[in-house]
Amino acid sequence: MAAPRRSGARLAAFLALLLHLAAVIEGKSFYDVLQVPKGASEDQIKRSYRKLALKYHPDKNPDNEEATKRFAEINNAYEVLTDQEKRKIYDRYGEEGLKQFQGGRGGGGGGMNMQDIFSR
């Protein structure tokens, strides 16, 4: 039973990473995704997240791929901006710095980078 969970977690991480890449390509910051200012409080971030998550939740938007993408972007942005350590790194070094930090610690992204994924 552990193997399906691992593969499911890997798939979820991979999808989150792809959606994260899409946000980078589109030039959206995590603050833009959550529609909050850069200095937003944790409470502001939570309120905006809840509003957007409800709006774009896949259950409320069946068969809408764009809503599913937005929902994943919203979750990813929320995950970073509500973690004080990740947010500090993101604010200082951007997404690239966050990737480097996660890769160096072996946490979060599992030490993978985009080159590894696309080379496979």
**pTM for this structure?**
0.64
pLDDT digits (tens, 9 = 90+) for 52-101: 999 999 999 999 999 999 999 999 999 999 999 999 999 999 888 888 88
- Name residues whose C-beta falls within 8 Å of residue 65's C-beta, 6 or more positions apart in sequence: none
Residue 79, C-beta contacts closer than 8 angstroms, at least 6 positions apart: 86
Cα–Cα dist 5/68, whole Å = 21
Contact 76, 19 (CB under 8 A): yes
Q: Rounding to the nearest 10 degrees, give the CA dihedral for residues 60, 66, 26, 34.
A: 0
Q: Where are the domains of the chain?
A: 2-119
Name the amino acid, one letter, at 56.
Answer: Y
CATH number of 2-119: 1.10.287.110
pLDDT tens per residue across span 22-40: 555 556 899 999 999 999 9
